[in-house]
Structure formats: C-alpha cells, structure tokens
Amino acid sequence: MRNITFVLLGVLMSTCLNAQQRLSLCFDRGFWFPFAFTEDYKPSGMYVDMIRDAMDRLDSKVALRPMDWKKCLKRVQRGRIDGVLGISYKPARAEKFDYPADAATSKNSPNRLTNVEYVIVNYSGSGYVFNKKNIGKLPQPVRVPRGYSIASDLRKEGVTVDDRLYKSDQGTLINLIARKKGSAVLLRNIAEYYFKHPFFKGKFKIQKIPYKSKAYFVAFSKKSKLTMENKKEIWKAIKAIREDRELMESYLVKYQAIEEGEDEGESY
C-alpha cells in the first residue's frame, strides 16, 4: 500500500508545475502592438499579460525574453528556452515545437492566445484595390519581416515576397514610404497603430478586405524539460484566461488607453 502511495505521488509531481519551476519564453522583439512589445525595456502587451496571469493561476512564474525572431526560434528549437509566445502554426514548425493537438485543424483552437488579421498595405498614391481574386497582382515588392510565416502563405498563392531585409513591420512600412511603391503585409492592429502616428499619417493606405486571419499560440520546445502534461496544463490555463471575458476586456481597455495616449503625443 505504501509503495502504491509513493508511485501516485510521483505521478502527481511529474504532471504539475510547481512554484520553483519557472517557465522561459521568448517573443519577437519587433513592435507587435498590442500583443507583445517592450515598454521602458520591459515586456508588455496582451499576450504578456495573458501568460503571466495563466502562470499565476498555476502558482508559477514566467521569464520573458524579447529577441530577434529567428534567434528566438533557434533557441527554443535547441531547448535553451522552453517555448515561444505568439507563434502561428506551420507543419515545418510542428516538427520542432509542440502545439496544442488541434492547432493544425482548427482556426479557432480553444488553446490559442487569440486570432489576428493580416492586411495589405500600399503607398497612399497607389490605385490598387485588393480582393481575394487578385492576390497575384499585389504591387511589387511585397514586403514581410524575415522569418514570418505569412510569407510562406503568400508564396503558396504565387506571390513573390521580399522578406530578406526587414526585421520588423515598422521596417517594411518605412521602406514602402521611402520607395513609394509596392506593398507590405502586416497585422491589422499594427497597421492601424502606425496609420495614426504623425510620421506615417497619410503616407499609406490599409486595404479594407483582410488577407488572412491566423491563430497564435504558445508553442513549446520538444527538448524542453517540461513534460507534455505540463504543456497541456499551461494551454488549459491560457484557455481559461481567454474565456474570461471580463479579464480580456480589461486588457483591451488597458492597451487602448496606451494607444490613445500616444495619439496625443505623449510617447512613441
């Protein structure tokens, strides 16, 4: 009987996170407002709040590291960091990272962080009007930050993509404005944020029809010391956070207030 008790205790300890087990995640250091960015050199954003609150509910903590996107993916792949905060699903990525079981088949996985929309952006003087039928006629060059999965989606539809030079969405917009031609593909929230900023205002237009909606997740290294049960426990906690409407609304209000403050010139 005593041996059975010890076995059961060992199983419970192996499947539960504990207060001493700090989760480590990296995220793209580019300005991914309102999802993940740095403010006063500290991680901030809706995804940051979500994972911190999820880990609090598990009586554990999370260490967050903003870094170059490709560097982040490589470190997670090697097991030096437990996982990635804010990553979409790709079959090639699933060979290296663990995703929720339905990430490949469900656009609205209950274990996702959120869904986000990608939009086409063109120079303000462009006469191009996007629709799903003329995706192959996007004004060139079509700019996407390097390492972003949206580039693969565009290439599958026959679009030539320039993703070699740009480290951030801001970089794609600056190049678009400087050259006064072509396109950029970025998150709607980020496009709308920069659209209001004095430096960019009136210099580009956002196409009304979205290009694509994608789900974003926390994905874990297959080489992490976390067990699969640990990972499922974290995804379950994220699900509970996302389904807490009052809490999610508080995040939205928080970052809307930041955006409105910046519109008034309080900060950049």
pLDDT average, residue stretch 216-235: 98
For each of the domains in the chain, give its residue range(s) and CATH number, in order of start: 23-114+215-263 (3.40.190.10), 117-214 (3.40.190.10)
Residue pLDDT, tens place only, 71-96 = 999 999 999 999 999 999 999 999 99
- Residue 257 pLDDT > 60: yes
Each residue's pLDDT tens digit, 24-44: 999 999 889 899 999 989 999
The pLDDT of residue 1 is 44
pTM of the model: 0.81
Q: Which residues neighbour 175 within 8 Å (Cβ) at sequence distance 6 or greater?
A: 143, 165, 166, 184
The SS3 call for residue 137 is helix
Closest CA to 184 of 163, 155, 201: 163
Q: What percent of the chain has pLDDT over 70?
A: 88
**What DSSP element (H or E) covers 158?**
none
Separation CA 66–CA 28 (nearest Å): 6
Please compute the mean of the pLDDT values over residues 199-215 and round it to a whole number: 95
> DSSP readout, 7-19?
HHHHHHHHHS--T
DSSP string over 174-243: HHHHHHT-SEEEEEHHHHHHHHTSTTTTTSEEE-SS-SEEEEEEEEEETTSSS-HHHHHHHHHHHHHHHT
